[in-house]
Structure 1
Amino acid sequence: MQLGVKSEAVRHTTTPRGPSIHQLYALPVPIRTYPLPTFYPSNPLSLFHVLYTWLAQVVFPPVSEPSTVYQGVWSPETRSVHIREAESIRALWEQGFFGKGAFSRSEPNWFKREQARRGKRADHVAEEFTNKRREERKLMKWDRARKEQEAIERTKQQEAWVAPVGPLELLSLPNSLPNASALVNGALTPANTSGISSAGEAGFVPFPLLNGDTSRPQTPVNDLSATFSNPLSEDPQECVKRRKSVRFCPSVQSATFLLSDPPSPAPGLLPNGEVHDYAAANGNPLLSGPSDAALAALVSGQTSSKDSSEIATTDIVDKEHLQLMPEEAFYLVFALGALSVRDPGSQTLLTVQGLLKLFRQNSYFPPRMTGLQPDDPFLIHYVVYHHFRSLGWVVRPGIKFGVDWLLYNRGPVFSHAEFALIVMPAYTDPGWQGRQPPQRAWHWLHSINRVQATALKTLVLIYVDIPPPFGEELDVSTIVKRYKIREFIVKRWLSNRNRD
């Protein structure tokens, strides 16, 4: 075999993969556009390419967009629009990252996770690897805390050893001379030195008796390991102050903990639904961690044959639906025309004006049927959402980081969010004279900015200029055009980085 040439047996076989994420998430919105190619003045041939594409679209016009209008139902309980068809759910997520799975953190993949958990799917989902890493990290922290606790206990035992100070205690040491007993006025002879050793082994060595006084204190020597090694062997009355009893409810048995115990990992569920019994497996409920069998089952996700056979026989029903926020649903209805929303009671389609009024009413808690104003929470947040969506950003809710919106360059599957937005109304119009925006404390802004800096995001304050009051007879386009947006980036000033 020549160097640099790999045989067929050495080559690694790779499993077939699906389409790449760049192909799955190629469309930024659920509509398709057909732009003309770019014309370059320095290249005259590009003009023929533009003319050919234009003539092809005139002779054979493409399908009008949106080609598919998805169906949704308004949910007054959750104040969101629900999408229940599986194809519509995947389409809205893959074409713009709209909505959130009801049983998922973000991407609606509960059905895939359930199939992988029951062994009906060969590939895995990202949440499984994330949960596996979290469990491994949790067990590693627990093992580190256990080792630290054991080191503290050993240090306590070493520090609790009392140095011998009495003559008889000094004579009991292994380096004592056999005839050193003559130094104690003949009170001790070499013949009875063995009794001292036996007394020391028993746990206590008495001080030398003076004038027949037998009430002298006794000094512990070497029996400290029995005191610290097994806390369960102590007298319960002596351990009352060191224990803490917690009773959660009258029907649950009270749990007793030692204050010196290391933190134990949270009782997670095995894939078969059983709870780990660490105490029964290792014998010591105080300083016992998960056994090797439980750890292996926890990390690898193995299940018993009986439970796996029972799970495999049951059919899996996809119960997850997609939840669209009111701003996302209204953008799909008004800006793109790719969604229609039905009333849950009458099952009639809601018009754009009716949907705007419904969302404005439910932006208050409790819902406000009358007295709607231009500074309604829905209008302010939707204007910001529409503005950044029109600029090509992927806008997602930012409640996880304490802000209103998060801006992604292409989407959550490609990179983390770059900017965090906080929407603030501004009453700059003379018609709002005397109207003040909600006051924000300085420590609130500092806390939010600190969180974003820790998460490697840039905080942006979005001021929305509120227009004067208008009537409900105006169309949505005219209403949205009356709002103006101003953007201010907030950064922490550091003396060692901002010297210039």
Structure 2
Amino acid sequence: MSLIVPNRKRGDKKGGARRGENNRIYANPLPLVFSQTESYTSYILDLFGIPNILVNNPSCEGVFDPITRSVWITSSKDSMILWRRGFFGKGDLSRSEPSWYARQVNARKAAGKYMTSEEIREKRRAERKQFKLDRAAAIAQAAAEAEAAFAEGREAAPAVIPSGATWKPQISAVEELPNPSVSLQDDYVEVPEDKLEDIEHLQLTLQEAFFLIWNLDCLSVVDPATVAIIFSHIAFALKCLQSEPMNLQSIWRAFQATYCSPHVPSIVSNACEGRFDNPFLVNYAAYHYYRSLGWVVKGGIKFCVDFLLYKRGPVFHHAECVRGGRSYPLIEDPADQESSPFDLSNSSPFSWSWLSTVNRVNSQVQKTLILTYVTIPAQSRMSPDLIASPACLAHYSVREVVLRRFIPARMRD
């Protein structure tokens, strides 16, 4: 596995007037909120060194979908809790934050007056594009003026080239920019305002879901066999016929089973059962490792990598680290690799051409590549009963190797 860290020393924070508001909205790093009551009883307990801490557990509920290898959070309340307290999951109709409903409401209001994160990003990109056009026009005009002055034998007037620090979008240019509330909406559905419903759900990866279930105990997962999924031409609805949640052992087996039989995920074949090189175990070992160190772990398909790591979250910083490029599972016993029913990606050594390509791309986006190696314990030295519980994760080890491309022109200092 691999990671990426920005090379730049400044500018990694996301600016804007909403920073203070984001600090208030995303103040809790995890779904569990700890608070202490101020009362006479708590004061007496503090004198004896007994903590009087209250734990607010949101107790969210999701539906396991083995086809997409994910857990769906259909309640908008639970979705916002998991997103705002640790940035877990991704909106299925949004880029990251589940904001489809807000975008639909904004499109019916004052044309971008209330903007979501996706709309702010599109507006910023449009302004950046306009700046490049203005700068190119100014450079062409200055070159034409210099050429005319040279032909006439006079001194050319000083050229004014726009810079990124001083350039401001003109009113006429802004009016020509596409409305971000409308141009963004590839998934826009024309629905009367009085009948507008939030049809988006939060989609958790199996690693995120199991972290919330096993470590924080704030998520319960409903058995997919008790859930009917009803699709229509504009939306889908989930109707829980029986709200009996799965226990930890059944979740542990079901999450591993999704990598065993692609056609019938609920069936675990004998060849796949009890394997320590199951992709779910390998990916979760890396996910748990970085989450336990305080990183916010997100999917890294944007950079063709496995994971993006943020210090606090996407709304505060750009990606600090990415478990990028490739996954690197290390199998202790070569015999396990030969008998493995899984096609573990990147289990073979990478080529130098690939490493040079990835390292060069990462230097252009000002990030540092980190290769993460997950050591898989040998089947021969492990008890077959150990893998029946999450206790087997203690036998996995994670190591990192940081790679940076040496650029002489930039690193002389």
Whether these two folds match at TM > 0.5 is: yes
For 1:112, the equivalent position in structure 2 comes to 102
In 2, Cα distance between equivalents of 1:383 and 1:474: 13
Whole-Å separation in 1 of the counterparts to 2:180 and 2:205: 37
The offset of 1:388, in angstroms, is 1.0
Could you say if the C-alpha distance between residues 439 and 89 of structure 1 is closer, same or farther in structure 2, counting changes exceeding 3 Å? same
Q: Does residue 450 of the first structure (1) align with residue 360 of the second (2)?
A: yes
2:316 to 411, 414, 417: 414
Query: For residues 322-361 of structure 1, what are the structure 2 equivalents within 5 Å?
Result: 322-346=202-226, 347=242, 348-361=244-257
The CA deviation at 1:364 is 5.1
2: distance between equivalents of 1:56 and 1:93?
Answer: 38
Q: CA deviation at 1:489?
A: 0.6
Question: What's the offset of the Cα at 1:384?
Answer: 0.7
- Quote how far apart the aligned CAs of 1:413 are: 0.8
Task: State the identity %.
Answer: 38
Q: Secondary structure at the match of 2:393?
A: helix
Native 8 Å contact 2:92 2:201 kept in 1: yes
Query: Residues 492 and 108 of structure 1: is their aligned pair in 2 closer, same or farther, counting only changes over 3 Å?
Result: same
* Mapped contact 2:126–2:177 kept (Cα < 8 A): no
| Distance in 1, Cα, partners of 2:57 & 2:18 | 29
* 8 Å Cα contact 1:426/1:466 also seen in 2: yes
Q: Which residue of 102, 106, 115 maps to 1:124?
A: 115
Match of 1:491 in 2: 404
Q: 1:21 to 1:351 in 2, by over 3 A?
A: same
Quick one: distance in 2 between partners of 1:448 and 1:479?
33
Equivalent AA in structure 2 for residue 357 of structure 1: R
Instruction: State the one-letter code of the partner of 1:397.
Output: G
- C-alpha distance in structure 1 between counterparts of 2:195 and 2:296, whole Å: 36
Query: Cα offset for 1:410?
Result: 0.8
Residues in 1 aligned to 2:77 and 2:181: alpha-carbon distance in whole angstroms: 30
Amino acid at match of 1:127: E
Deviations 1:103-151 (A, max 9, x none): 1100111111111110179632232233234445567778999999xxx
Helix, strand or coil: the match of 1:459? strand
* C-alpha distance in 1 between matches for 2:206 and 2:136: 46
Deviation of 1:404 (Å) = 0.9
Measured in 2, the distance between the counterparts of 1:406 and 1:396 equals: 5
Q: Which residue of 2 aligns with 1:396?
A: 298
**1:300 & 1:461 partners in 2: Cα distance?**
37
2:243 equivalent to 1:377: no
Distance change >3 Å, CA 32–CA 492, structure 1 → 2:
same
**CA radius of gyration, larger in:** 1
| Corresponding position: 1:95 with 2:76 | no
Q: Is the CA contact 2:107–2:182 (under 8 Å) kept in the aligned structure 1?
A: no
Cα gap change, 1:311 to 1:147, in 2 (>3 Å): farther
SS at match of 2:97: coil
Check the 8 A contact 2:297/2:309 in 1, yes or no.
yes
Rate the CA distance shift 1:19–1:457 in 2: closer, same or farther, 3 A. closer
* Equivalent-residue separation in structure 2 for 1:345 and 1:300 (angstroms): 41
CA separation in 2, counterparts of 1:362 and 1:61?
42
Say which SS state the counterpart of residue 411 (structure 1) adopts: coil
Partner residue in 1 for 2:75: 85
For 1:75 and 1:364, locate their aligned partners in 2 and report how far apart those are by CA, in whole Å: 15
Per the alignment, residue 258 of structure 2 pairs with 362
Paired residue for 1:54? 46
2:181 and 2:96 mapped to 1: Cα distance?
Answer: 23
Structure 1 residue matching 2:62: 3-state secondary structure? strand
1:297 CA drift (Å): 8.0
Residue equivalent to 2:22: 21
Tell whether the 8 Å contact from 2:386 to 2:392 is kept in structure 1 after alignment.
Answer: no
Q: Which has the higher strand share?
A: 2
What SS does the aligned partner of 1:73 have?
Answer: strand
**Correspondences of 1:460-479 after superposition (within 5 Å):** 460-469=370-379, 470-472=383-385, 474=387, 476-479=389-392
The amino acid of 2:196's aligned partner reads: I
Letter in 2 for 1:415: H
- The answer for the alignment partner of 1:427 in structure 2 is 331
In the alignment, which residue of structure 2 is the partner of 1:195?
A: none
Q: Contact 1:419–1:457 at 8 Å: present in 2 too?
A: yes
Query: Who is 2:150 aligned against?
Result: none
Q: Structure 1's 136 and 391: CA in aligned 2 closer, same or farther, altered over 3 A?
A: closer
Q: Who is 1:183 aligned against?
A: none
SS of match in other structure, 2:115: coil
**Structure 2 vs 1, CA of residues 434 and 296 (structure 1 numbering), >3 Å: closer, same or farther?**
closer
Q: Is 1:333–1:340's contact at 8 Å kept on the other side of the alignment? A: yes
Q: Any idea what SS the aligned residue of 1:111 has?
A: helix
Deviation per CA, 1:420-478, whole angstroms, max 9, x where unpaired? 11431112358759789323222222222222222222211111111122425545342
Could you tell me which amino acid in structure 2 is paired with residue 453 of structure 1?
S
Structure 1 residue identity aligned to 2:93: F
What is the letter of the counterpart of residue 76 of structure 2? A
TM-score normalised over the length of structure 2: 0.66
- How far residue 97 of structure 1 moved from its aligned partner, in angstroms, is 0.3
Distance 1:141 1:297, change over 3 A: closer
Identify the structure with bigger relative contact order (alpha carbons < 8 Å, sequence gap 6+): 2
SS of corresponding position for 1:334:
helix
Q: CA deviation at 1:33?
A: 3.6
1:353 aligned partner, one-letter code = Q
The partner residue of 1:481 within 363, 369, 394 is 394
What letter corresponds to residue 315 of structure 2 in structure 1?
Answer: V
Is the 2:323–2:370 Cα contact (8 Å) retained in structure 1?
yes
Q: Distance in 2 between matches of 1:312 and 1:448?
A: 47
Partner Cα separation in structure 1 for residue 208 and residue 182 of structure 2: 40
Q: Distance in 1 between matches of 2:294 and 2:173?
A: 51
Match of 2:236 in 1: none
TM-score by length of 1: 0.56
Deviation digits for residues 16-63 of structure 1 (CA, Å, limit 9, x no counterpart)? 99972112111111113469xxxxxxxxxxxxxx986734884x8443
1:66·1:336 contact (CA, 8 Å) conserved in 2? Answer: no
C-alpha change, 1:293 and 1:397, in structure 2 (3 Å) is closer
